[in-house]
Structure 1
Amino acid sequence: MDWEDGWKRLVTEGWANRDEPPSLLAYFEHLVSVHPNSGRARFELANVLDYLSREEEAVVVYREAINLGLSKEYEAYAKVQLASSLRNLGNADEAVRLLRDIVSRYPHHLSFVIFLALSLHSEGRSAEALQVLVQTILHECETPDLLRYRRSLTQYAAAIHDPRGNQTRDPSSLSIHPHSPQAPWPWDLLLLADPSRTRIQNYCRDGLCYVAQWHEEIVGVYVIALNTDGGAELMNIAVREDWQGQGLGQRLVQHAENTARNLGCLWLDVATGNSSLLQLRFYQRAGFRITDIVPDFFVLHYNQLIMENGIPCRDQIRLRKQLVADAP
Protein backbone atom coordinates (compact mmCIF):
# COMPACT_ATOMS: atom_id res chain seq x y z
CA MET A 1 0.00 0.00 0.00
CA ASP A 2 1.83 3.07 -1.30
CA TRP A 3 -0.80 5.74 -1.67
CA GLU A 4 -0.86 8.41 0.99
CA ASP A 5 -4.61 8.39 1.61
CA GLY A 6 -4.48 4.68 2.30
CA TRP A 7 -1.70 5.10 4.84
CA LYS A 8 -3.55 7.94 6.54
CA ARG A 9 -6.62 5.72 6.93
CA LEU A 10 -4.58 2.84 8.35
CA VAL A 11 -2.66 5.07 10.75
CA THR A 12 -5.80 6.86 11.97
CA GLU A 13 -7.47 3.50 12.56
CA GLY A 14 -4.49 2.25 14.57
CA TRP A 15 -4.21 5.35 16.76
CA ALA A 16 -7.83 4.96 17.79
CA ASN A 17 -6.33 2.48 20.28
CA ARG A 18 -4.00 5.06 21.85
CA ASP A 19 -5.59 4.53 25.30
CA GLU A 20 -4.94 0.79 25.11
CA PRO A 21 -1.16 0.43 24.63
CA PRO A 22 -1.14 -3.37 24.02
CA SER A 23 -3.76 -3.03 21.27
CA LEU A 24 -2.00 0.01 19.79
CA LEU A 25 1.32 -1.83 19.59
CA ALA A 26 -0.23 -5.05 18.28
CA TYR A 27 -1.98 -3.14 15.48
CA PHE A 28 1.22 -1.60 14.12
CA GLU A 29 3.27 -4.77 14.59
CA HIS A 30 0.63 -6.51 12.48
CA LEU A 31 0.91 -3.71 9.89
CA VAL A 32 4.66 -4.39 9.62
CA SER A 33 4.03 -8.12 9.25
CA VAL A 34 1.60 -7.44 6.40
CA HIS A 35 4.02 -4.97 4.72
CA PRO A 36 7.49 -6.34 5.68
CA ASN A 37 9.33 -4.36 2.98
CA SER A 38 7.62 -1.05 3.65
CA GLY A 39 9.66 1.71 5.24
CA ARG A 40 6.45 3.59 5.99
CA ALA A 41 5.02 0.70 8.03
CA ARG A 42 8.18 0.53 10.15
CA PHE A 43 8.19 4.29 10.57
CA GLU A 44 4.67 4.15 12.01
CA LEU A 45 5.69 1.31 14.36
CA ALA A 46 8.72 3.32 15.55
CA ASN A 47 6.38 6.24 16.17
CA VAL A 48 4.29 4.03 18.47
CA LEU A 49 7.38 2.74 20.31
CA ASP A 50 8.39 6.36 20.95
CA TYR A 51 4.91 7.11 22.25
CA LEU A 52 5.21 4.17 24.66
CA SER A 53 8.62 5.48 25.90
CA ARG A 54 10.46 2.52 24.38
CA GLU A 55 13.09 4.71 22.71
CA GLU A 56 15.81 2.05 22.39
CA GLU A 57 13.49 -0.13 20.32
CA ALA A 58 12.24 2.90 18.40
CA VAL A 59 15.79 3.83 17.36
CA VAL A 60 16.31 0.40 15.79
CA VAL A 61 13.02 0.54 13.89
CA TYR A 62 13.56 4.13 12.70
CA ARG A 63 16.89 3.05 11.19
CA GLU A 64 15.21 0.08 9.51
CA ALA A 65 12.53 2.35 8.07
CA ILE A 66 15.12 4.75 6.65
CA ASN A 67 17.13 1.89 5.13
CA LEU A 68 14.03 0.39 3.49
CA GLY A 69 13.21 3.75 1.92
CA LEU A 70 10.72 6.53 2.57
CA SER A 71 9.38 9.52 0.68
CA LYS A 72 11.47 12.68 1.12
CA GLU A 73 8.89 14.05 3.55
CA TYR A 74 8.76 10.96 5.74
CA GLU A 75 12.51 10.38 5.57
CA ALA A 76 12.87 13.85 7.13
CA TYR A 77 10.29 13.01 9.81
CA ALA A 78 12.01 9.69 10.52
CA LYS A 79 15.43 11.29 10.93
CA VAL A 80 14.07 14.07 13.16
CA GLN A 81 12.25 11.57 15.38
CA LEU A 82 15.27 9.26 15.40
CA ALA A 83 17.40 12.20 16.51
CA SER A 84 14.92 13.07 19.26
CA SER A 85 15.01 9.49 20.56
CA LEU A 86 18.82 9.48 20.44
CA ARG A 87 18.89 12.69 22.48
CA ASN A 88 16.58 11.16 25.08
CA LEU A 89 18.95 8.18 25.27
CA GLY A 90 21.97 10.43 25.86
CA ASN A 91 23.40 10.36 22.33
CA ALA A 92 23.05 14.06 21.59
CA ASP A 93 26.15 14.11 19.36
CA GLU A 94 24.59 11.89 16.69
CA ALA A 95 21.29 13.74 17.11
CA VAL A 96 22.98 17.06 16.31
CA ARG A 97 24.63 15.60 13.18
CA LEU A 98 21.33 14.22 11.90
CA LEU A 99 19.42 17.41 12.64
CA ARG A 100 22.00 19.74 11.09
CA ASP A 101 21.62 17.84 7.82
CA ILE A 102 17.82 17.96 7.96
CA VAL A 103 17.67 21.64 8.93
CA SER A 104 20.03 22.53 6.07
CA ARG A 105 17.53 20.95 3.65
CA TYR A 106 14.37 22.18 5.36
CA PRO A 107 15.35 25.54 6.94
CA HIS A 108 11.74 26.75 7.06
CA HIS A 109 10.52 23.85 9.24
CA LEU A 110 10.65 25.56 12.62
CA SER A 111 9.96 22.35 14.57
CA PHE A 112 13.10 20.80 13.08
CA VAL A 113 15.13 23.81 14.23
CA ILE A 114 13.71 23.50 17.74
CA PHE A 115 14.72 19.82 17.88
CA LEU A 116 18.23 20.88 16.81
CA ALA A 117 18.40 23.53 19.54
CA LEU A 118 17.27 21.01 22.17
CA SER A 119 19.95 18.56 21.05
CA LEU A 120 22.64 21.25 21.15
CA HIS A 121 21.52 22.14 24.68
CA SER A 122 21.69 18.47 25.71
CA GLU A 123 25.22 18.33 24.34
CA GLY A 124 26.22 21.24 26.58
CA ARG A 125 26.21 23.81 23.77
CA SER A 126 23.50 26.07 25.16
CA ALA A 127 24.92 29.27 23.65
CA GLU A 128 24.84 27.76 20.17
CA ALA A 129 21.30 26.48 20.81
CA LEU A 130 20.19 30.01 21.70
CA GLN A 131 21.92 31.36 18.61
CA VAL A 132 20.15 28.86 16.36
CA LEU A 133 16.74 29.82 17.76
CA VAL A 134 17.31 33.58 17.61
CA GLN A 135 18.68 33.47 14.06
CA THR A 136 15.76 31.32 12.90
CA ILE A 137 13.25 33.77 14.34
CA LEU A 138 15.05 36.64 12.59
CA HIS A 139 15.16 34.76 9.28
CA GLU A 140 11.67 33.31 9.20
CA CYS A 141 9.48 35.92 10.88
CA GLU A 142 8.42 39.22 9.32
CA THR A 143 6.97 41.68 11.83
CA PRO A 144 7.35 45.46 12.08
CA ASP A 145 9.25 45.23 15.37
CA LEU A 146 11.75 42.73 13.93
CA LEU A 147 12.29 44.89 10.87
CA ARG A 148 13.06 47.83 13.15
CA TYR A 149 15.66 45.93 15.20
CA ARG A 150 16.73 43.20 12.79
CA ARG A 151 20.20 44.56 12.05
CA SER A 152 21.21 44.95 15.69
CA LEU A 153 19.56 41.67 16.74
CA THR A 154 21.31 39.83 13.90
CA GLN A 155 24.64 41.23 15.04
CA TYR A 156 23.94 40.27 18.65
CA ALA A 157 22.94 36.75 17.59
CA ALA A 158 26.15 36.36 15.56
CA ALA A 159 28.15 37.29 18.65
CA ILE A 160 26.54 34.69 20.91
CA HIS A 161 28.74 31.84 19.80
CA ASP A 162 32.04 31.31 18.04
CA PRO A 163 31.81 27.76 16.59
CA ARG A 164 35.59 27.48 16.26
CA GLY A 165 36.43 28.79 19.74
CA ASN A 166 40.10 29.68 19.91
CA GLN A 167 41.12 27.60 16.91
CA THR A 168 43.82 29.28 14.82
CA ARG A 169 42.47 30.67 11.59
CA ASP A 170 44.59 29.98 8.55
CA PRO A 171 43.73 32.53 5.83
CA SER A 172 44.82 30.05 3.15
CA SER A 173 41.90 27.83 4.21
CA LEU A 174 39.39 30.55 3.27
CA SER A 175 37.94 30.51 -0.24
CA ILE A 176 35.55 32.84 -2.06
CA HIS A 177 33.29 31.08 -4.55
CA PRO A 178 29.79 31.30 -6.10
CA HIS A 179 26.92 30.41 -3.81
CA SER A 180 25.53 26.98 -4.66
CA PRO A 181 21.89 27.08 -5.89
CA GLN A 182 21.24 23.96 -3.77
CA ALA A 183 22.50 25.57 -0.55
CA PRO A 184 20.33 27.75 1.70
CA TRP A 185 20.94 31.48 1.53
CA PRO A 186 23.24 32.76 4.31
CA TRP A 187 20.44 34.87 5.80
CA ASP A 188 22.28 35.65 9.03
CA LEU A 189 24.94 37.46 6.98
CA LEU A 190 22.71 39.03 4.32
CA LEU A 191 20.48 40.57 6.99
CA LEU A 192 23.50 42.18 8.64
CA ALA A 193 23.75 44.50 5.63
CA ASP A 194 20.08 44.89 4.69
CA PRO A 195 17.12 44.52 7.10
CA SER A 196 14.62 43.89 4.27
CA ARG A 197 14.19 40.20 3.55
CA THR A 198 12.01 40.99 0.53
CA ARG A 199 14.66 43.19 -1.08
CA ILE A 200 17.32 40.56 -0.41
CA GLN A 201 15.23 37.86 -2.06
CA ASN A 202 14.74 40.05 -5.13
CA TYR A 203 18.37 40.94 -5.76
CA CYS A 204 19.70 37.48 -4.83
CA ARG A 205 17.31 35.97 -7.36
CA ASP A 206 18.54 38.24 -10.16
CA GLY A 207 22.13 38.87 -9.07
CA LEU A 208 25.37 36.98 -8.54
CA CYS A 209 26.05 35.78 -5.00
CA TYR A 210 29.51 34.81 -3.73
CA VAL A 211 30.36 33.43 -0.30
CA ALA A 212 33.55 33.34 1.74
CA GLN A 213 33.95 29.88 3.23
CA TRP A 214 36.31 28.80 5.99
CA HIS A 215 36.31 25.03 6.39
CA GLU A 216 32.55 24.29 6.41
CA GLU A 217 31.46 27.73 7.66
CA ILE A 218 30.17 30.63 5.57
CA VAL A 219 31.80 33.70 7.10
CA GLY A 220 31.25 36.34 4.42
CA VAL A 221 28.99 37.12 1.46
CA TYR A 222 28.48 39.61 -1.33
CA VAL A 223 25.88 40.04 -4.08
CA ILE A 224 26.35 42.06 -7.26
CA ALA A 225 23.80 42.96 -9.93
CA LEU A 226 24.67 43.84 -13.51
CA ASN A 227 23.21 47.06 -14.89
CA THR A 228 22.22 47.81 -18.47
CA ASP A 229 24.45 50.90 -18.63
CA GLY A 230 27.74 49.02 -18.50
CA GLY A 231 28.25 48.95 -14.75
CA ALA A 232 27.43 46.72 -11.79
CA GLU A 233 26.17 47.38 -8.29
CA LEU A 234 27.29 45.79 -5.04
CA MET A 235 23.86 45.07 -3.53
CA ASN A 236 24.99 43.38 -0.31
CA ILE A 237 28.25 42.67 1.45
CA ALA A 238 28.64 41.31 4.96
CA VAL A 239 31.22 39.64 7.17
CA ARG A 240 30.41 37.53 10.20
CA GLU A 241 31.06 39.54 13.35
CA ASP A 242 33.87 37.34 14.68
CA TRP A 243 35.68 37.73 11.32
CA GLN A 244 35.37 41.51 11.13
CA GLY A 245 38.50 43.61 11.39
CA GLN A 246 40.67 40.92 9.78
CA GLY A 247 40.68 42.16 6.18
CA LEU A 248 37.94 39.87 4.89
CA GLY A 249 35.66 42.77 3.92
CA GLN A 250 38.44 44.23 1.80
CA ARG A 251 39.02 40.84 0.15
CA LEU A 252 35.32 40.56 -0.67
CA VAL A 253 35.24 44.02 -2.23
CA GLN A 254 38.34 43.25 -4.31
CA HIS A 255 36.78 39.95 -5.38
CA ALA A 256 33.56 41.76 -6.35
CA GLU A 257 35.58 44.30 -8.38
CA ASN A 258 37.38 41.49 -10.23
CA THR A 259 34.12 39.65 -10.86
CA ALA A 260 32.50 42.78 -12.31
CA ARG A 261 35.61 43.63 -14.34
CA ASN A 262 35.79 40.10 -15.80
CA LEU A 263 32.16 40.47 -16.87
CA GLY A 264 33.05 43.62 -18.82
CA CYS A 265 31.70 46.16 -16.34
CA LEU A 266 33.21 49.64 -16.40
CA TRP A 267 32.41 50.59 -12.80
CA LEU A 268 31.05 49.23 -9.55
CA ASP A 269 28.41 51.14 -7.60
CA VAL A 270 27.42 50.67 -3.98
CA ALA A 271 24.81 52.33 -1.79
CA THR A 272 24.57 52.74 1.96
CA GLY A 273 22.74 54.89 4.51
CA ASN A 274 23.62 58.31 5.81
CA SER A 275 23.90 56.78 9.31
CA SER A 276 26.29 53.98 8.23
CA LEU A 277 29.45 55.77 9.29
CA LEU A 278 31.75 52.72 9.30
CA GLN A 279 30.55 51.64 5.86
CA LEU A 280 31.07 55.13 4.39
CA ARG A 281 34.62 55.15 5.76
CA PHE A 282 35.24 51.59 4.49
CA TYR A 283 34.06 52.22 0.92
CA GLN A 284 35.91 55.53 0.53
CA ARG A 285 39.13 53.95 1.80
CA ALA A 286 38.57 51.21 -0.81
CA GLY A 287 38.54 53.83 -3.58
CA PHE A 288 34.82 54.56 -3.96
CA ARG A 289 33.66 58.16 -4.34
CA ILE A 290 30.26 59.64 -3.47
CA THR A 291 28.26 60.29 -6.63
CA ASP A 292 24.74 60.93 -5.43
CA ILE A 293 22.44 61.29 -2.42
CA VAL A 294 18.84 60.01 -2.61
CA PRO A 295 16.84 61.87 0.04
CA ASP A 296 14.38 59.85 2.16
CA PHE A 297 15.19 56.57 0.35
CA PHE A 298 15.00 54.49 3.54
CA VAL A 299 11.89 56.34 4.74
CA LEU A 300 10.08 55.50 1.50
CA HIS A 301 11.29 51.92 1.02
CA TYR A 302 11.36 50.52 4.56
CA ASN A 303 8.39 50.16 6.87
CA GLN A 304 10.19 51.11 10.07
CA LEU A 305 12.71 53.80 10.92
CA ILE A 306 16.26 52.42 11.07
CA MET A 307 18.62 53.80 13.71
CA GLU A 308 22.43 53.49 13.51
CA ASN A 309 25.05 55.19 15.63
CA GLY A 310 22.27 57.23 17.21
CA ILE A 311 21.37 58.67 13.79
CA PRO A 312 18.09 58.06 11.86
CA CYS A 313 18.85 56.30 8.58
CA ARG A 314 16.89 58.37 6.04
CA ASP A 315 18.99 59.13 2.96
CA GLN A 316 20.78 56.78 0.61
CA ILE A 317 24.41 57.63 -0.16
CA ARG A 318 25.58 56.27 -3.53
CA LEU A 319 29.25 55.67 -4.30
CA ARG A 320 31.12 54.47 -7.39
CA LYS A 321 34.53 53.04 -8.20
CA GLN A 322 35.87 53.07 -11.75
CA LEU A 323 37.08 49.64 -12.86
CA VAL A 324 38.46 50.75 -16.22
CA ALA A 325 40.53 53.87 -16.84
CA ASP A 326 38.62 56.71 -18.53
CA ALA A 327 35.24 55.06 -17.91
CA PRO A 328 32.36 57.58 -17.66
Structure 2
Amino acid sequence: MQNLNFTEITRQKRDFLPLLLLADDGEHLENYLESGSLFLLSNREKTPIAVALVAYKQAGIYEIENFAVSTHFQKSDYGRKMMQFLLEYYQEKIKATEIVLGTDDVSGNVQFYEKCGFTITHKIPNYFIEHYENPIFEGKSQLKDKIYLRRKLR
Protein backbone atom coordinates (compact mmCIF):
# COMPACT_ATOMS: atom_id res chain seq x y z
CA MET A 1 0.00 0.00 0.00
CA GLN A 2 2.87 2.32 -0.68
CA ASN A 3 2.69 5.41 -2.85
CA LEU A 4 -0.87 6.36 -2.11
CA ASN A 5 -2.04 9.80 -3.21
CA PHE A 6 -4.79 11.77 -1.48
CA THR A 7 -6.06 14.60 -3.67
CA GLU A 8 -8.84 17.14 -3.42
CA ILE A 9 -10.68 17.26 -6.75
CA THR A 10 -11.92 20.75 -7.54
CA ARG A 11 -12.76 20.40 -11.25
CA GLN A 12 -14.42 17.75 -13.37
CA LYS A 13 -15.97 16.03 -10.36
CA ARG A 14 -18.36 14.21 -12.68
CA ASP A 15 -15.40 12.18 -13.97
CA PHE A 16 -15.66 10.25 -10.69
CA LEU A 17 -19.37 9.45 -10.97
CA PRO A 18 -18.84 5.72 -11.64
CA LEU A 19 -17.06 5.39 -8.29
CA LEU A 20 -19.40 7.76 -6.44
CA LEU A 21 -22.43 5.84 -7.69
CA LEU A 22 -21.27 2.77 -5.79
CA ALA A 23 -22.42 4.56 -2.62
CA ASP A 24 -25.50 6.50 -3.74
CA ASP A 25 -27.87 6.89 -6.65
CA GLY A 26 -27.53 9.66 -9.20
CA GLU A 27 -30.52 11.71 -8.11
CA HIS A 28 -29.29 12.14 -4.55
CA LEU A 29 -25.71 12.59 -5.67
CA GLU A 30 -26.70 15.55 -7.85
CA ASN A 31 -27.87 17.38 -4.72
CA TYR A 32 -24.39 17.65 -3.23
CA LEU A 33 -21.78 16.82 -5.88
CA GLU A 34 -20.86 20.36 -6.90
CA SER A 35 -21.15 21.99 -3.49
CA GLY A 36 -19.19 19.36 -1.56
CA SER A 37 -15.44 18.79 -1.33
CA LEU A 38 -14.40 15.70 -3.28
CA PHE A 39 -11.37 13.69 -2.19
CA LEU A 40 -9.68 10.93 -4.15
CA LEU A 41 -7.38 8.16 -3.05
CA SER A 42 -5.31 6.79 -5.94
CA ASN A 43 -2.24 4.62 -6.32
CA ARG A 44 1.11 5.22 -8.03
CA GLU A 45 -0.48 4.38 -11.40
CA LYS A 46 -3.16 7.03 -10.71
CA THR A 47 -5.86 4.37 -10.52
CA PRO A 48 -8.83 5.68 -8.49
CA ILE A 49 -9.22 3.55 -5.37
CA ALA A 50 -11.64 5.48 -3.15
CA VAL A 51 -13.60 8.73 -3.09
CA ALA A 52 -15.28 10.77 -0.40
CA LEU A 53 -17.58 13.74 -0.78
CA VAL A 54 -17.76 15.97 2.27
CA ALA A 55 -20.16 18.88 2.80
CA TYR A 56 -20.19 21.75 5.29
CA LYS A 57 -23.22 21.48 7.58
CA GLN A 58 -22.82 24.14 10.26
CA ALA A 59 -20.09 25.73 12.37
CA GLY A 60 -17.41 23.08 12.86
CA ILE A 61 -19.54 20.22 11.56
CA TYR A 62 -19.01 18.44 8.24
CA GLU A 63 -20.92 15.52 6.76
CA ILE A 64 -19.50 12.71 4.67
CA GLU A 65 -22.20 12.55 2.01
CA ASN A 66 -20.54 9.84 -0.06
CA PHE A 67 -17.78 7.36 0.74
CA ALA A 68 -16.95 4.65 -1.78
CA VAL A 69 -14.13 2.21 -2.41
CA SER A 70 -13.71 0.72 -5.88
CA THR A 71 -14.99 -2.85 -6.02
CA HIS A 72 -11.50 -4.10 -6.95
CA PHE A 73 -9.99 -2.58 -3.81
CA GLN A 74 -12.63 -3.36 -1.19
CA LYS A 75 -11.64 -5.40 1.88
CA SER A 76 -8.01 -4.28 1.43
CA ASP A 77 -7.71 -1.57 4.12
CA TYR A 78 -8.01 1.29 1.60
CA GLY A 79 -11.30 2.46 3.10
CA ARG A 80 -9.68 2.79 6.51
CA LYS A 81 -6.75 4.71 5.01
CA MET A 82 -9.12 7.07 3.21
CA MET A 83 -11.11 7.64 6.40
CA GLN A 84 -7.92 8.24 8.39
CA PHE A 85 -6.86 10.86 5.86
CA LEU A 86 -10.26 12.62 6.02
CA LEU A 87 -10.34 12.69 9.81
CA GLU A 88 -6.81 14.12 10.02
CA TYR A 89 -7.48 16.63 7.24
CA TYR A 90 -10.67 17.95 8.82
CA GLN A 91 -9.19 18.03 12.30
CA GLU A 92 -5.84 19.63 11.43
CA LYS A 93 -6.47 21.81 8.35
CA ILE A 94 -10.14 22.67 8.61
CA LYS A 95 -10.31 22.69 12.43
CA ALA A 96 -13.62 20.87 12.35
CA THR A 97 -15.09 19.74 15.65
CA GLU A 98 -17.19 16.87 14.33
CA ILE A 99 -17.76 14.66 11.29
CA VAL A 100 -21.20 13.09 10.76
CA LEU A 101 -22.55 10.63 8.20
CA GLY A 102 -25.54 8.50 7.39
CA THR A 103 -25.54 4.95 6.06
CA ASP A 104 -27.78 1.95 5.62
CA ASP A 105 -28.58 -0.68 8.21
CA VAL A 106 -27.71 -3.73 6.10
CA SER A 107 -24.34 -3.50 4.31
CA GLY A 108 -21.96 -3.67 7.25
CA ASN A 109 -21.00 -0.01 6.86
CA VAL A 110 -22.03 0.75 10.44
CA GLN A 111 -19.43 -1.69 11.75
CA PHE A 112 -16.75 -0.16 9.50
CA TYR A 113 -17.51 3.36 10.73
CA GLU A 114 -17.57 2.22 14.35
CA LYS A 115 -14.08 0.74 13.87
CA CYS A 116 -13.06 4.20 12.61
CA GLY A 117 -14.21 5.77 15.88
CA PHE A 118 -17.74 6.86 14.94
CA THR A 119 -20.68 6.32 17.26
CA ILE A 120 -24.35 5.94 16.36
CA THR A 121 -26.43 9.01 17.14
CA HIS A 122 -29.84 8.06 15.77
CA LYS A 123 -31.82 6.05 13.24
CA ILE A 124 -34.48 7.07 10.74
CA PRO A 125 -36.83 4.10 10.25
CA ASN A 126 -37.84 3.28 6.65
CA TYR A 127 -35.68 6.08 5.20
CA PHE A 128 -34.62 4.12 2.12
CA ILE A 129 -38.19 2.99 1.48
CA GLU A 130 -39.70 6.48 1.76
CA HIS A 131 -36.95 8.54 0.04
CA TYR A 132 -35.99 6.37 -2.92
CA GLU A 133 -38.27 5.64 -5.83
CA ASN A 134 -37.13 2.03 -6.23
CA PRO A 135 -36.21 -0.51 -3.54
CA ILE A 136 -32.47 -0.80 -2.88
CA PHE A 137 -30.95 -4.14 -2.03
CA GLU A 138 -27.62 -5.17 -0.55
CA GLY A 139 -27.35 -8.78 -1.58
CA LYS A 140 -30.79 -10.21 -0.79
CA SER A 141 -31.62 -7.71 1.98
CA GLN A 142 -33.60 -4.56 1.30
CA LEU A 143 -32.26 -1.33 2.75
CA LYS A 144 -34.79 0.21 5.12
CA ASP A 145 -33.42 2.29 7.98
CA LYS A 146 -30.79 5.02 7.79
CA ILE A 147 -28.27 5.07 10.62
CA TYR A 148 -26.50 8.32 11.54
CA LEU A 149 -23.08 8.32 13.17
CA ARG A 150 -20.63 10.97 14.33
CA ARG A 151 -17.04 11.30 15.32
CA LYS A 152 -15.91 14.12 17.57
CA LEU A 153 -12.60 15.64 16.48
CA ARG A 154 -12.09 18.05 19.38
Task: Give the TM-score, by structure 2 length.
Answer: 0.90
Contact 2:41 2:48 in 1 (8 A): yes
Distance 1:292 1:238, change over 3 A: same
- The aligned counterpart of 2:129 is 299
Contact 1:293 1:318 in 2 (8 A): yes
Q: How many residues align?
A: 152
Instruction: Map residues 140-219 of structure 1 onto 2, 5 A cutoff.
Output: 171-182=1-12, 184-194=14-24, 196-214=25-43, 215-219=45-49
- The aligned counterpart of 2:56 is 226
Mapped to 2, the partners of 1:182 and 1:235 lie a distance apart of 18
Instruction: Map residues 246-261 of structure 1 onto 2, 5 A cutoff.
Output: 246-261=76-91
Match of 1:272 among 103, 106, 109: 103
Q: Deviation of residue 177 (structure 1)?
A: 0.5
Distance 1:219 1:284, change over 3 A: same
Q: Deviation per CA, 1:157-181: give whole Å up to 9, x if none.
A: xxxxxxxxxxxxxx33220101140
Q: Which runs of 5+ in 1 are unaligned?
A: 1-170
Report the identity percentage: 26
RMSD: 1.5
Q: Name whichever structure is richer in helix by fraction.
A: 1
Q: Deviation of residue 183 (structure 1)?
A: 5.8
In the alignment, residue 292 of structure 1 is paired with which amino acid? H
Mapped to 2, the partners of 1:318 and 1:182 lie a distance apart of 29
| Bigger Cα Rg | 1
- The aligned counterpart of 1:70 is none
